[in-house]
Structure 1
Amino acid sequence: TVDEKTLDSDFDGNEGSCSTALAVFGAANGLTPTLCLPWVNDNFVGVSSSQDRSDEDLSGTVKGSYRFSENLMSYASYSRGYKAGGFNLDRSQFGPADPAPFQPNLDTGFDPETVDAYEVGFKSNNAANSLFFNGAVFYQEYNDFQLNTFTGTSFIVTSVPAVISKGAEFDFRYLPEKLEGLTLQGGLVYAETQYDDFEAVDFFAPPRLPGSTISFAPRWSGTLAATYETTFVSDWDTRFNVSSRYTSRYNTGSNLDPLKEADDLVVVNARMGFYSDNSPFELEVWAQNLFDEDYYELAFDTPLQGDAATQTAPGTAVGAFLSPPLTFGATARLRF
């Protein structure tokens, strides 16, 4: 893969706010960051820049398998993945502690991301083909991991030197011979996905990242589901399904702020359908988040919400997108 990108930028805005604040109050004053927010920072007025980059990488996969018997197969694989680098399009500026506080940062590029992934596993089934059981161990190493961060005012992608993910996963599917129409299936994953140790000098890669578990990476996760199909009436059949998903505690924020953690969680969904091979009509009734669990889907820094008592700068408050509540309904389908 070869990627070539060019970015030409022309900035405009209103005169006065940030340059005046820096002259009167200085960079350390709590009021200055508010008057120097990227979209009102007059240091951008009349600024133009041009950037270009060229990235290339070889990606692909190699797999090998060995069948011990009709019911047991093992395999090993290596794959190389690649995601091109690019440019941040939100306004980027230096922070108050940098040598050039609140001046435009015109180098908005970020490096390509690569991953080397290794996996060894097996697939098995019993002689009656009623039980299928699979498992694998894996190791993945990401280089220049592209971390997308919402700073409270901008979305900025920055490159973290390395992320390591390793663990094991298992899944099964069981069709009880004595109860025709019932299918049980599930899976369990244990994964440690952590930033490697590095010197966190970038504002967008805070000191709590090195050596920590990355966001949206629970150590344990699992699924369990049951499906039962049977005759309903005449030539109409019905299908019942209950599924659940478990995740252990994980952080939903790119900066790993403890306020953005989601607790251990089990979400259950249910569905019942009516269908016939002789009719184009199908009806389903369903419920999502059956037990109405409340959890963070994503937590983020809230802009312009500082400490009311001390009138400090933004970044001390957190907002969140909450989970959908218990939701139920019906779906009708017509095939023609």
Structure 2
Amino acid sequence: MLQKKYVFGCASGLALTMAAGGAFAQAQTLPGLAAAADSNAVSELVVTAQKRSERLQDVPVVVTVLTEAKLEANNVRSVSDLVTLTPGLTSTTNGSEGTTIARIRGVGNVADNPGLEDAVGLYIDGIYRPRNGVSFNDLGELNDIEILKGPQGTLFGKNTIAGVIQITTKRPSFTYSALGEATVQNYNGYGGSVSLTGPVVADKVAIRLYVADRERDGYIPVVQAPTTHIPDQNDEHVFTTRDQLLVNFTDDLDVNFIADYSRRRDHCCVAVDYQNGSPATVQNEVFPGTVPNPVSPRNNTAFLNRSTLDLITDQGISAEGHWKTPWLGNAVLTSITAYRDSKENTGGDTDGTLADIIDTNPATNFTRFRQFSEELQYRGSTARLNWQVGFFYSHELLDNGVFLQNGPALGPYLNVLSAGALPANGFPAGEGAMDTFHQREHSEAIYTQEEFKLTDQLSLIGGLRYTWEHKDLNSEYANNDTANTCANVLQAATGSPTPIPFSAFGNFSKAIFGTACLVNPAFKGLNTTQSLDEGALTGTAKLQYKFNDEAMVYGSYSRGNLVGGFNLAEVTTPFGPGGAPNTSLAPQTDTSFPAENVNAYELGAKTQWLDRRLALNAALFFQSYRDHQLNAFTGTQFVEFTIPEAQTGGAELEGAFAVTPDLTLNGGVTYAETTYPSDAKNKAVLQAPGSELFLLPGSRLSYAPLWSITLGGSYKHPVTEGWDGFVNVDAKYSSSYQIGSDEDPNKNQPGFALVNGSVGVTTHDKRLEFSVWGTNLFNQFYKQTAFDGVLQTFSTPPAANPGMNNYYAFPGEPRFYGATFKVRFE
């Protein structure tokens, strides 16, 4: 029904947009519409959404463009700051900044498992970043950011089945200038940046240097034991530098070299208890006062026996060269070569209570990516044809260490939970699950996209891409269980006088023996190797009609691919015939999952009105996903589910209006109807015996609000001789949505609005600027992600009986406010 509804809606929408275009062509002759001055027009935006410079209004793709002025007005320094400015974009941060993930039109995945790659492709200065989370640092001086919505599998390749975030920083200039910025804010925050650009050799060599350092205390207070000293959590300690060297070898050849380095040393990211069931009562009987009970649903205080710690180092070098060749009408050859190295160490109080039950150590819990990539692009044009071909290669090494460590309180806690069946000394402190993973990936792709101008107004765009993917994984499991608790419990349950053989673990269910076998002896000493080879053909076909320079309509089909991979976790086989994955105690040595594919359809119109004072762009879309990758947390582990079908469809509208030369308004609306179809294929997977996701068929996708609305305005006006005053306000409303993977009603985030704003003064030449600003001005409390409490989930599956669970969430950022002073030298 959803597909039929959107096919009908898209056909109707195409008729409406074509009628609007025709009406617009006539409206230009009406009196009064031409009265507006050209200087009051909405700024003409140039984008590279098709890897060539084009007017935004000429590009048959839904693109939200955030200009330098917009980014500065909203103090945008990382990808997570884009959410308030972009309809249809959501972002969440889970257990660390490295698990921050972006979603577009309700489509994305959960980043806690590095084996899953992101559905939203992230490019910074043309360089593909394999995971979103490594780029949530200070990005430096930004030129603009383009958010491309919908699959972009032809030009941007694999892992763009939801869209692309394309960030462009400022390049070196051959005009001397320098900028100093200092900021103070609440939570004892302070920081600043310094940048310098200019020629080293006139017209031949130029540099741009950028350095920034920012500090802020945490915003989540901690209840802790009297002998501990845990600071408020979710603080910020960031240092970054980004240095560039531009060399013009000839008039036709230039190369820009970039070296960047970022370091974070944060106490992040901590979850808080917001709803309690019977586990809170039990735990407080064993360890009084270690869990808040009762607890407020708006609780923003953590109960911890040790601090979280998130250590991130992200660095890289790159070279981007452009050569205007003497062939094919001076076609341009572009080469982008890069090497990146990103490492994150995380640790903290895993159970989130004052009792030391389960924890992780940053010395042994880490994720490291090392990536080399090369992309070649060759593009040119004739009177009737715009063409480009390309090649992409990447080689990635991924190392991941996971050590879930027993705390001294684990044994006594499980002893009480089991009514004495589990010995209090059965889980020695310091032991636990110790797993390491080493993955090697090679990816190659060739692609082409052409635009044929059938007439001066009608164009046909077609593109194809073929991607080869190879992955190798070595997994080493070193579980340590000297007390043999699991084996002893299994023997007692079966009456067997001898140790349970390895092969018999498939006969036991996690639902019954999972707590006793928290450290599963079947994985002890297990080493596995796996290999995966995939090939994928993706592409697009678009038909575009231009009424004139102010009105255009288009229709498109796109196919995208999100590469398959391996679940980097202790995965077990289904329990019983037809059971859900990961429900027995027997190791599953094949942890692979298939690629996800999408077929997407879009109808759009881009128009300008009132002598280009008003720009309105609209689109209808429908996207159908096969083998959707979902990573779900069950209270004790992450489980990868491959869901046969998922869908999203809806409409988008974005616009900008230059009301006067001083006042500009902008806004956008995304309506996204997402669903897991309630058909036989989905039910067979999601409602198999033992499945944690039995509520998903017929439900909406997680983290996917039905409505996403942005509204903003910018006003600037002279206040005195030589000085201008300015005011900027931006707001984002999201309707209610699910913030868990299993559609548990207790993990619903009600609709909420965030408002950012700034007010200040600047000289006409922008040499001096002072502003006061705020984000989340009304201090809206909201939750980013909710999950079942670690070892505090007694219901199986968790959503079946919420009263038997404790619930935790990662809160969103509170109100931040501060003042910024800038000084420019030119």
TM-score by length of 2: 0.38
Preserved contact between residue 727 and residue 758 of structure 2 (Cα < 8 Å): yes
2:702 matched to which residue of 1?
215
301 and 29 in structure 1: CA distance in 2 versus 1, 3 angstrom threshold: closer
1:322 matched to which residue of 2?
811
| Residue identity opposite 2:561 in structure 1 | Y
Does residue 66 (structure 1) correspond to residue 545 (structure 2)? The answer is yes
1:111 matched to which residue of 2?
594
Correspondent of 1:303 among 790, 801, 804: 790
Residue-by-residue CA offset, 1:33-62 (whole Å, 9 max, x unaligned): 22212xx21111122222111111122333
- Percent identical across equivalent pairs? 37
2:713 matched to which residue of 1?
226
Correspondent of 1:57 among 536, 558, 574: 536
2:649 matched to which residue of 1?
166
Preserved contact between residue 301 and residue 315 of structure 1 (Cα < 8 Å): no
Does residue 41 (structure 1) correspond to residue 514 (structure 2)? The answer is no
- Per the alignment, in what secondary structure is the counterpart of residue 305 of structure 1? strand
- Per the alignment, in what secondary structure is the counterpart of residue 189 of structure 1? strand
User: What is the RMSD computed on CA atoms of the aligned residues?
Assistant: 2.6
Correspondent of 2:662 among 181, 191, 194: 181
| Residue identity opposite 1:119 in structure 2 | E
Measured after TM superposition, the shift of residue 153 of structure 1 is 2.4
- Per the alignment, in what secondary structure is the counterpart of residue 21 of structure 1? helix
Greater displacement, 279-288 / 76-85: 279-288
Does residue 248 (structure 1) correspond to residue 729 (structure 2)? The answer is no
Q: For residues 634 and 822 of structure 2, what CA distance do their matches in structure 1 show?
A: 44
Q: For residues 269 and 282 of structure 1, what CA distance do their matches in structure 2 show?
A: 19
Q: For residues 689 and 561 of structure 2, what CA distance do their matches in structure 1 show?
A: 23
Q: For residues 63 and 6 of structure 1, what CA distance do their matches in structure 2 show?
A: 37
TM-score by length of 1: 0.89
Measured after TM superposition, the shift of residue 4 of structure 1 is 0.8
105 and 28 in structure 1: CA distance in 2 versus 1, 3 angstrom threshold: closer
- Per the alignment, in what secondary structure is the counterpart of residue 23 of structure 1? helix
Q: For residues 101 and 267 of structure 1, what CA distance do their matches in structure 2 show?
A: 44
Does residue 133 (structure 1) correspond to residue 616 (structure 2)? The answer is yes
Measured after TM superposition, the shift of residue 246 of structure 1 is 0.9
Where in structure 2 are there 5+ consecutive unaligned residues? 1-466, 495-507, 796-800
Higher helix share: 2
Measured after TM superposition, the shift of residue 271 of structure 1 is 1.5
76 and 315 in structure 1: CA distance in 2 versus 1, 3 angstrom threshold: farther
Does residue 285 (structure 1) correspond to residue 772 (structure 2)? The answer is yes
28 and 7 in structure 1: CA distance in 2 versus 1, 3 angstrom threshold: closer
After superposition, where does 1:244-283 map in structure 2 within 5 Å? Answer: 244-276=731-763, 278-283=765-770
Preserved contact between residue 19 and residue 43 of structure 1 (Cα < 8 Å): no
Preserved contact between residue 253 and residue 300 of structure 1 (Cα < 8 Å): yes
Preserved contact between residue 229 and residue 239 of structure 1 (Cα < 8 Å): yes
| Residue identity opposite 2:492 in structure 1 | V
Where in structure 1 are there 5+ consecutive unaligned residues? none
Does residue 82 (structure 1) correspond to residue 557 (structure 2)? The answer is no
1:4 matched to which residue of 2?
470
203 and 240 in structure 1: CA distance in 2 versus 1, 3 angstrom threshold: farther
Measured after TM superposition, the shift of residue 29 of structure 1 is 9.6
Q: For residues 51 and 315 of structure 1, what CA distance do their matches in structure 2 show?
A: 38
Q: Which has the larger radius of gyration?
A: 2
Q: For residues 139 and 296 of structure 1, what CA distance do their matches in structure 2 show?
A: 28
21 and 29 in structure 1: CA distance in 2 versus 1, 3 angstrom threshold: farther
Greater displacement, 273-282 / 113-122: 273-282
| Residue identity opposite 1:2 in structure 2 | W
Residue-by-residue CA offset, 1:133-190 (whole Å, 9 max, x unaligned): 11110011111111121222223332111111111111221111xx331111111121
Residue-by-residue CA offset, 1:118-137 (whole Å, 9 max, x unaligned): 11011111142111111110
- Per the alignment, in what secondary structure is the counterpart of residue 36 of structure 1? coil
Q: For residues 793 and 602 of structure 2, what CA distance do their matches in structure 1 show?
A: 47
Q: For residues 315 and 82 of structure 1, what CA distance do their matches in structure 2 show?
A: 40
Does residue 102 (structure 1) correspond to residue 573 (structure 2)? The answer is no
| Residue identity opposite 1:139 in structure 2 | F
Measured after TM superposition, the shift of residue 335 of structure 1 is 4.5
303 and 66 in structure 1: CA distance in 2 versus 1, 3 angstrom threshold: same
